[in-house]
Amino acid sequence: MNTAAVVLAAGAGTRMKSKKPKVAHEILGKPLVRWVVDAAKDAGAERIVSVVGHAREQVAPLVEADTEVVVQAEQRGTADAVAACEGALAGFEGSLVVLSGDCPLITPDTISALVRMRDENDAAVVVLTMQLDDPFGYGRIIRDEAGEVARIVEQKDATPEEAAVTECNSGFYCFDARALFGALKQVSSDNAQGEFYLTDVLGICRAEGRRVLALPATDAAECLGVNSRMQLAEAAGIMQRRVNARHLANGVTMWDPAQVWIGPDVEIERDVELLPQVILMGKTSVGEDSVIGPNTRLTDTRIGRGCVVDETVAVEAQVDDGATCGPRAYLRPKAHLCEGAKAGTHVEIKKSTVGRGSKVPHLSYVGDATIGEGVNLGAGTITCNYDGANKWPTHIGDGAFVGSSTMLVAPVSLGEGCIIGAGSVITKDVSAGALGLGRARQTEIAGWADENRKVKE
Ligand code: UD1
Ligand code: CA
């Protein structure tokens, strides 16, 4: 059976008190609407249509790469939003799942369960429902004498008896696409809010003699909608626990899972240890036996096996097996520590390769450099890669030893096995095996200090 999904993302979300549209707010580095779209994809939806409206110039870019985007110019209600997809879905037959772009916790399993239940029963619609102690604000599921779903009534239209019902509409549905678009033509805005309610479709389908079913949610948290910053934080906490539980089950140790935030696309091998205050985002991966943290943020960074990454910030960097960084290292885009290399304390590395076993242990800046194997850069070594207009490269041959507090003024090359005296400013290439020195000669004036320290009479 064909499956398509509609993701509603046209609303404003005024309670967020934000310049940003609600569905663009992020959980674990991923916008709310992306969580919903990805859940639909993982559930096997072959086509996804996103309905955008409010601030669509900010929402459309989040979804246009892999969904069809339709515009609902004016937000006239959820039925109107789905009706806006009719053109895009012309000729589509099968299951049409409707999802809210502000409910990021929905799982692919639940979406699949809705689709399966509709298929198996040839229902016009299956609605995901939840039991709430405080149902205020939600649409209520009204059942007939036989216990079948008869219709949904919105809070503002409910009689006191209807308002007392605790079975609520989650806002997730699977429809028979043809039945849905037929029924939408009969939905009116004759209600308390003057809106076109998608929920009216259920009563219309029942009146036409089609089956309308409810699937009780196994976990009500999946239906949590984000309308405020408080709910955003709640949803983020649930998602954090969900992602961490998956990694814990796969053999990752966390001293305190509440202090570890892992993005959905991060890959972590077994026997990795995550210390407190670790944030792993984007396409980051961590190899077996590595220890990460505390106080570490890695974005789109590849960490090999057996690495130690202590108090480090890294963005688009690569750390090969057995390399170490930190405490307090900053690896910027295209920093590459080869096997067994080290970027130590207060070291910043950008667009540079540090060869196998090479060490940059203390207080250094390395930018636009290629460093060979077995190199040692003394404390405070700086590559002066920028002349105010252009960036220039530095090459350091295998086995070179650079004394502390050396400025390597690029473009410059150090030959294999050379030694640079501490405190040098190196502006010219140094040959292999040579000693390079670039500093003022030391002089001594005998007795000068004693002479000058005498107190004047
Ligand atoms: C809706 C349901 C209610 C259910 C609740 C669950 C209706 C009429 N009511 O109510 O039964 O309990 O969800 O959360 O459907 N949207 C558009 N265009 C519009 C209007 C809404 O795209 O014109 C989008 C919103 O951005 C949001 C979703 O549809 O993502 C739901 O709309 P909202 O106005 O929040 O509906 P509720 O009043 O919460
Ligand atoms: Ca809502």
CA of 171 to the centre of ligand 2 (A): 8
Tens digit of pLDDT for each residue in 213-243?
999 999 999 999 999 999 999 999 999 999 9
Question: CATH homologous superfamily of domain 252-436?
Answer: Hexapeptide repeat proteins (2.160.10.10)
DSSP code, position 404: S
pLDDT at 19 over 70: yes
User: What whole-number distance in Å separates Cα of residue 334 and Cα of residue 170?
Assistant: 45
Catalytic residue among 54, 247, 346, 362: 362
- The residue whose CA has the least distance to atom 1 of ligand 1 is 171
CA of 227 to the centre of ligand 2 (A): 7
User: Which three-class secondary structure state does DSSP give residue 448?
Assistant: helix
pLDDT at 350 over 70: yes
- The residue whose CA has the least distance to atom 21 of ligand 1 is 78
Share the mean pLDDT of the chain: 97
Give me the long-range contacts of 115-120 (CB less than 8 A, separation at least 24).
115/1, 115/3, 115/43, 115/44, 115/174, 117/174, 117/213, 117/215, 118/174, 118/175, 118/176, 118/213, 119/1, 119/95
- The residue whose CA has the least distance to atom 25 of ligand 1 is 11
Q: Which atom of ligand 1 is nearest to the CA of 81?
A: 18
Tell me the CATH number of domain 3-223, given options 3.40.50.970, 3.90.550.10, 3.40.50.150, 1.10.1030.10: 3.90.550.10
Backbone angles phi, psi at 389, to 5 degrees: -130, -45
CA of 225 to the centre of ligand 1 (A): 10
CA of 130 to the centre of ligand 2 (A): 15
pLDDT at 456 over 80: no
Cβ 423 vs Cβ 405: under 8 Å: yes
User: What whole-number distance in Å separates Cα of residue 428 and Cα of residue 414?
Assistant: 9
pLDDT at 8: 98
Pocket of ligand 1 (CB under 6 A): 8-11, 51, 72, 75-78, 80-81, 100-102, 138-139, 152, 154, 168-171, 197-199, 225
pLDDT at 214: 98
Tens digit of pLDDT for each residue in 360-391?
999 999 999 999 999 999 999 999 999 999 99
Cβ 294 vs Cβ 311: under 8 Å: yes
Tens digit of pLDDT for each residue in 166-212?
999 999 999 999 999 999 999 999 999 999 999 999 999 999 999 99
Closest to 274 (Cα-Cα) out of 243, 233, 300: 243
The neighbouring-strand residues paired with 370 are 353, 395
Q: What share of the chain is helix, strand, coil (3-state, %, to 5)?
A: 20, 30, 45
Decide if 362 is catalytic: yes
Q: Which atom of ligand 1 is nearest to the CA of 200?
A: 8
Q: Which atom of ligand 1 is nearest to the CA of 8?
A: 22
Tens digit of pLDDT for each residue in 31-48?
999 999 999 999 999 999
Q: Which atom of ligand 1 is nearest to the CA of 80?
A: 23
Of 22, 23, 62, 78, which is best to mutate to test ligand 1, by the most ligand atoms within 8 angstroms of its C-beta? 78
pLDDT at 457: 63
User: What whole-number distance in Å separates Cα of residue 69 and Cα of residue 80?
Assistant: 15
Task: Name the pLDDT band for 13 (thresholds 50, 70, 90).
Answer: confident
- Domain definitions of the chain by residue range: 3-223, 252-436
Amino acid at 120: E
CA of 60 to the centre of ligand 1 (A): 19
The Cα-based distances of 19 to 13, 54, 55 in angstroms read: 10, 11, 9
Q: Report pTM.
A: 0.93
CA of 13 to the centre of ligand 2 (A): 9
Number of CB atoms found within 10 A of residue 320's CB: 20
pLDDT at 454: 81
The neighbouring-strand residues paired with 125 are 175, 212
Task: Name the pLDDT band for 1 (thresholds 50, 70, 90).
Answer: confident
Cα 20 versus chain centre, distance: 17
In the structure, ligand 2 is a single-atom ion and the residues with CB under 5 Å from it are 225
pLDDT at 355 over 80: yes
Tokens 């050379």, residue located: 418
Number of CB atoms found within 10 A of residue 144's CB: 10
Beta strands in 322-397 (DSSP E): 324-325, 329-331, 335-337, 342-345, 347-350, 352-354, 359-362, 365-367, 369-371, 376-377, 382-384, 394-396
DSSP letter string, 11-47: ---GGG--SS-GGG-EETTEEHHHHHHHHHHHTT-SE
Q: Do 3-223 and 252-436 share a fold?
A: no
- The residue whose CA has the least distance to atom 22 of ligand 1 is 10
Amino acid at 335: A
Q: Which atom of ligand 1 is nearest to the CA of 169?
A: 12
Tens digit of pLDDT for each residue in 279-306?
999 999 999 999 999 999 999 999 999 9
What residues contact 289, with CB distance under 8 A and at least 6 apart?
Answer: 271, 272, 305, 306
Task: Name the pLDDT band for 12 (thresholds 50, 70, 90).
Answer: confident
- The residue whose CA has the least distance to atom 35 of ligand 1 is 11
User: Of the ranges 107-116, 218-227, 241-250, 323-332, which one carries the lowest mean pLDDT score?
Assistant: 218-227
What residues contact 111, with CB distance under 8 A and at least 6 apart?
Answer: 5, 39, 40, 43, 45, 97, 99, 172, 174
- The residue whose CA has the least distance to atom 11 of ligand 1 is 139
User: Which three-class secondary structure state does DSSP give residue 214?
Assistant: strand
User: What whole-number distance in Å separates Cα of residue 261 and Cα of residue 236?
Assistant: 10
User: What whole-number distance in Å separates Cα of residue 314 and Cα of residue 318?
Assistant: 9
DSSP letter string, 252-287: -EES-GGGEEE-TT-EE-TT-EE-SSEEEETT-EE-
Closest to 267 (Cα-Cα) out of 246, 241, 253: 246
pLDDT at 348 over 90: yes
